[in-house]
Amino acid sequence: MSTIDTRARLALPHRLRRLRRTESMRALVRETRLAPDMFVLPLFVCEGEGVRREVGSMPGVLAASLVVTEPVSVLIT
């Protein structure tokens, strides 16, 4: 019984990039697409009335009580 060498490599003179020549082809074969509108800003709620406090592990993000008169944009520093 013969064994198959799984370590065989192709002897190519250069890397094959036929799927990456133009931007439209790259867009078709791209695996991951991220855009700013795909992200979600976490809003944290805390107990109390009119309470706002910074989340220690996330600088610039505030936890706010349910009764807040400021718009959400004020909570994001």
Q: What is the pLDDT of residue 2?
A: 64
pLDDT one digit per residue (tens) for the chain, 77 residues: 566 666 667 777 777 777 778 888 888 888 888 888 888 877 888 888 888 899 899 888 889 887 655 666 666 65
Spatial contact of 61 and 42, defined as CB atoms under 8 Å apart: yes
Q: Distance between CA 1 and CA 11 in Å, rounded?
A: 27
Q: Which helix (H) or strand (E) holds 62?
A: strand 62-64
Pairing of strands 44-45, 62-64: parallel
* pTM exceeding the 0.85 threshold for the entire prediction: no
Write down the domain spans for the chain: 44-77
Q: Distance between CA 27 and CA 12 in Å, rounded?
A: 25
Nearest to 54 by CA among 74, 36, 75: 75
Q: What is the pLDDT of residue 8?
A: 66
